[in-house]
Amino acid sequence: MIVLSRRQYAGEFTVPGDKSITHRAIMFNGIADGEARIENALLGEDCLSTAACMRALGADVRVEGGTVCVRGNVLRDASCDCGNSGTTMRLLMGLIAGQRVNATLTGDASLSQRPMERVAKPLRLLGADIATADGRAPVTVRAAKLTGREVDTAAASAQVKSALLLAALGAEGETFVHESVKTRDHTERMLAAMGADIRVLGNTVRVKKSALRAVDIEVPGDISSAAYFMALGALLGETLCKNVGVNPTRTGILAAFDQMGVQYTLENQRTVCGEPVADIRVKKSDLKGIRLTKEIMPSLIDELPIIAVLCAYAEGESVITGAEELRIKESDRIKTTAAMISELGGEIMPREDGFIIRGQRRLAGGTADSCLDHRIAMSAAVALAASERGGEIKNAECVNISFPGFFDMLDRS
């Protein structure tokens, strides 16, 4: 149980490396020719699951301080425990299918409830032999010959898109993957840097059968982790989050800030290993209610719980629609976000595909349950830090999934 009370939280923060980029850097280098050093890798539980799976599949993955060293290999048959990590399981389904090995993928209780047919079904169109247990894990991939073709991702999901692009590396001919809304494009950027024959044409990605060569990667800070300290700045004081990845497919939270009236600046903008990076300064602001709809969702999906907290502290109503993907995250985040904000005294109505939040410029505080979801725990922490009487978070240790040291960083601020 973590106890938090209201006080001035301000200052400079350097959040850990990006989760999506760390997963990809370990996986892709694990099948590449040569050895790579991944600096500032996120060593949260999800990425450690990816490291363990790649080791089981035959890659040499070593953690040395904050660096992960990967030597790629021809993969071998394996059983892979993906833990709590949807990204690990979904991307591996495509990667393993493309490398023509046999593998079984399992996960924890939460991951075993999450849908896997959204990945298996389009992979089968390329010829993959994949079985799910009633649409869920355990997932079995059997070696099969793949052939390139045109595929649509039915869900606006970077995980589905990435699985297809990885499978396409081993498919004969060309594969075209179309998506209706552009999702995070870290896979495309990294595969291009590793020598894959890949081209992006609008919302379509074309991949030809390719081998990868290892590349060193410096992982930028995760904007999904910085979001909590950015929110603290907007609510309580001035914060500066240094070295944050600002890939435009990930910065929907800044568009939400624009609508809300949050004062922020991007400083020291640069490109590191093909990814845009900046320092983000946020100042205490008077917040207004916002409207968020379907098109923006992929660029802020993981930030919706903390954005909902900001909406509770805003003046006026906020309406969030088109966010049904939240239902199939580590928890049903429409339900768990609404429960957390209600527990702390906010007015939030869950809807089938989002929420309506009546902002009252305050939250009373109280006891919130993370429901074992890391993003709910960290959103509750910010909500409590700005609340009138503070309170407690139950099941707070799940922050280690994506942000080990979160509470220490909060404490030091």
Contacts with ligand S3P by CB under 6 A lie at 20, 87, 157-159, 162, 183-184, 301-302, 325
Q: In angstroms, what is the minimal distance from the CB of 322 to ligand S3P?
A: 13
CA distance 358 to 342: 11
Among residues 4 and 70, whose Cβ is nearest to ligand S3P?
70
Among residues 188 and 325, whose Cβ is nearest to ligand S3P?
325
Among residues 184 and 281, whose Cβ is nearest to ligand S3P?
184
**Is 401 strand, coil or helix?**
helix
Torsion of CA 80, 82, 86, 88, to 10 degrees: -60
Compute the residue count for the chain. Answer: 413
Q: In angstroms, what is the minimal distance from the CB of 325 to ligand S3P?
A: 5
Among residues 203 and 360, whose Cβ is nearest to ligand S3P?
203
CA distance 341 to 364: 10
- Tell me if residue 408 is catalytic: no
Q: Which two tokens stand for residue 142?
A: 């059997």
Among residues 128 and 301, whose Cβ is nearest to ligand S3P?
301
Q: Which two tokens stand for residue 315?
A: 């003046």
Query: DSSP H helical segments within 100-222, as ranges?
Result: 117-125, 158-168, 186-193
Among residues 84 and 183, whose Cβ is nearest to ligand S3P?
183
CA nearest to 223, candidates 269, 264, 280, 185: 280
**Is 282 strand, coil or helix?**
strand
CA distance 284 to 197: 46
Consecutive H or E run containing 87: helix 86-99
Q: How many CA atoms lie within 13 A of 260 on its CB side?
A: 32
Q: Which of these is catalytic: 18, 222, 302, 373?
A: 302
Q: In angstroms, what is the minimal distance from the CB of 241 to ligand S3P?
A: 19
- Fill in the amino acid letter for 270: R
Q: In angstroms, what is the minimal distance from the CB of 183 to ligand S3P?
A: 6
Q: How many CA atoms lie within 13 A of 106 on its CB side?
A: 7
Q: In angstroms, what is the minimal distance from the CB of 262 to ligand S3P?
A: 22
The DSSP string of 98-153 is: HHT--EEEE--TTGGGS--HHHHHHHHHTT-EEEEETTEEEEEEE----B--EEE-
C-beta of residue 127 within 8 angstroms of C-beta of residue 172: no
Q: Which residue is nearest to ligand S3P (CB)?
A: 20
CA distance 213 to 79: 25
- Fill in the amino acid letter for 187: T
CA distance 311 to 304: 10
Among residues 22 and 387, whose Cβ is nearest to ligand S3P?
22
Q: In angstroms, what is the minimal distance from the CB of 187 to ligand S3P?
A: 7
CA distance 97 to 173: 16
Q: In angstroms, what is the minimal distance from the CB of 329 to ligand S3P?
A: 6
Question: What's the order of all strands across the beta sheet hosting 129-133?
Answer: 78-81, 103-106, 136-142, 129-133
Q: In angstroms, what is the minimal distance from the CB of 159 to ligand S3P?
A: 4
* Phi, psi for 286 (deg, rounded to 5): -85, 120
Among residues 158 and 207, whose Cβ is nearest to ligand S3P?
158
Residues with a catalytic annotation lie at: 302
